[in-house]
Chains A and B, each alone.
Chain A
């Protein structure tokens, strides 16, 4: 197995339990998305499915640096963020199927999972739509002095949205504890980002005075180490930052996007999957560093298979909301 892990490791300081926890979370996201793909192709899941497979190291590396009370905002490709922040797979599957036991009673669906108990302010189907919300959560955290930080996940497609630059300016002026995490999977839907993005991405944030850097988004320990540094400074009151995670989306824009050679080659996909897979590479590292052997990792994967199958069954068995719910929750307090 080839590996692209190159940087000096700080990850071994995390200890066996946390390292295996990181592995488990990444593997859980992959297993979750494989089942989403199955549910969708079996026509059990309505709507659209945007899979996170290939990008697991970003969500897990970042969320591992956060507390349960810290805030995140997520995207249309958000299952990984929600799981990494602590959401339960069974209630997520239920939401994806529009069932009443879902996180949003089936009213949000795949693109709108929200969960106050894990600080998840919600996934957002408007590209860049939650940048203001995350910045506002950071404003509250600072104003109320509760020590929380906020992370806004967004894809490189959101670099085209003006509101990003408005809120980075505000956050830097007010020294808000927010980290803007750009997941650069290289494709704005069906268009390579080089066709939509002028100049240097990181320099855009640096121009506002934000500490801005990029990291190998396939290397979970590198993502985590960088995120921990940025989260720590935010928590200390030193203000916002920008982190670009270079990553890759294994599947199409959504599950139905199958014929995609007009925008990227199969060769490119195979190279990323074969050489830069964040889970395989981390598994290799864990074994090389003697944190775990193959059997231990396979045990985790077998446990996840059982857990995810049970979660799917829970969702399939769950009831739909009653039609009388359609007019509930339009307004709070009614």
Chain B
């Protein structure tokens, strides 16, 4: 699967970009290893890791029992003692089982030890609804980790970003959690063949615009880009800004965009209440207060367990159409 380095930019799927990032980092650094359920021959249910065990062996691509707390804890200890583990949590919903290891252990080890121990560990997991997987396989729970000092959280929205952010995460000396939108694994996009990283804490303007800022994360970036196309048809120019990491958070880029456009909708697939949209809305509302022409609007998942039935599930998350309508109402044009 990994393409040879030619210096060219290829079209890769999001899944291929993840795979390539891992393969390159494992070649570069022998201390990088992968732990998780069905990560080796199976390559995960999403086949994102296919081929890695063939190249790196079962010593480095390690199938675990279904014991998320146990193998995440092993990842924390291994990270403290010389390895750079990438812990694979098959569905983001299962992070509940790892909470003590991540929140009480990984996040606090460096601080509690007065800077003596480090935890250079990555957790890869998923988010996102509309896959008809019901309430325990569809949640977007990244706000929980974003809440905890000591953790970093990345939400890559393109093949380019996922490869660059994952490589940064692996090289980082702190616990970093990467949430991958499982609906995005087949999304294609340009990815350079040469080595590059996307730094943690640097937002990306995915589309320039003047009338309204659509600040969107992960799955919602594609939704915002589609909405921007619809808005352009009625002569509303939307800027799409992707923070790429919820912590560290590139507040400056977000605030600058809103100062320019004077309006903002914050989009995130997690629950709206007490969530990422609330935090970012507060950041831009205070940072761009004197330039705002309207209250900052938030759009996230409805405050319900994700239902199974397709017509019910589909209304729980923002769509290009709902974003388009919200933006049109805010700009009061068209």
Contacts and interface: CB of A to CB of B under 8 A. Distances in A.
Contact-residue bracket for chain A: 35 or more
A63 interface: no
B150 A136 contact: no
A106 B116 CA distance: 12
Residue among B67, B83, B116, B173 with the highest chain A CB neighbour number at 10 A: B116
A107 interface: yes
Contacts of A199: none
Interface in A48-88: 71
A166 interface: yes
Given A114-B116, A331-B110, A140 B174 contact: no
B112 A108 contact: yes
Contacts of A39: none
B114 A332 contact: no
Contacts of A173: 65
Given A122-B112, A122-B113, A136 B104 contact: no
A129 interface: yes
Interface string B64-100: 1101011111111111111101000000000000001
B104 A133 contact: no
Contacts of B119: 332
17 contacts: A71-B81, A114-B117, A116-B117, A121-B117, A133-B76, A134-B77, A136-B81, A137-B78, A139-B83, A143-B33, A144-B31, A169-B67, A173-B65, A331-B174, A332-B115, A332-B120, A333-B173
B59 interface: yes
Interface of B: 31, 33, 59, 64-65, 67, 69-83, 85, 100-101, 104-105, 109-120, 149-150, 152, 172-174
A167 B70 contact: yes
B80 A136 contact: yes
Contacts of B105: 124, 126, 129-130, 132-133
A259 B263 CA distance: 63
Given A136-B81, A137-B81, A170 B64 contact: yes
Nearest to A132: B73
B78 A329 contact: no
A226 B44 CA distance: 42
A131 interface: yes
Contacts of B81: 71, 121, 136-137, 140-141
Nearest to A119: B81
Nearest to A148: B81
Residue among B74, B112, B120 with the highest chain A CB neighbour number at 10 A: B74
A305 interface: no
Contact of B73 (A71, A140, A167): A167
A191 to B, nearest CB: 21
Contacts of B59: 143
Contacts of A104: 112-114, 116
Given A114-B117, A170-B67, A139 B74 contact: yes
| 7 nearest A-B residue pairs (beta carbon) | A132-B73, A136-B77, A166-B70, A105-B114, A104-B114, A133-B77, A166-B67
B263 to A, nearest CB: 33
Given A132-B105, A166-B70, A170-B67, A330 B111 contact: yes
A163 interface: yes
Given A132-B69, A132-B101, 9 more contacts: A104-B113, A104-B114, A108-B113, A114-B112, A121-B80, A163-B100, A166-B71, A170-B65, A170-B74
A330 B118 contact: no
B75 to A, nearest CB: 6
A232 interface: no
Nearest to A136: B77
Contacts of A102: 114
Given A170-B64, A332-B174, A132 B70 contact: yes
B74 to A, nearest CB: 4
Given A121-B117, A126-B104, A332 B149 contact: no
Interface in A251-302: none
Contact of B76 (A103, A132, A166): A132
B222 to A, nearest CB: 30
Contacts of B72: 132
A84 B141 CA distance: 42
Nearest to B118: A332
A126 B114 CA distance: 19
A168 to B, nearest CB: 9
B80 A329 contact: no
A136 B113 contact: no
A132 B104 contact: no
A131 B31 CA distance: 22
A309 interface: no
Contacts of B75: 132, 136
Interface in A190-247: none
Contacts of A121: 77, 80-81, 117
Contacts of B116: 103-104, 114-116
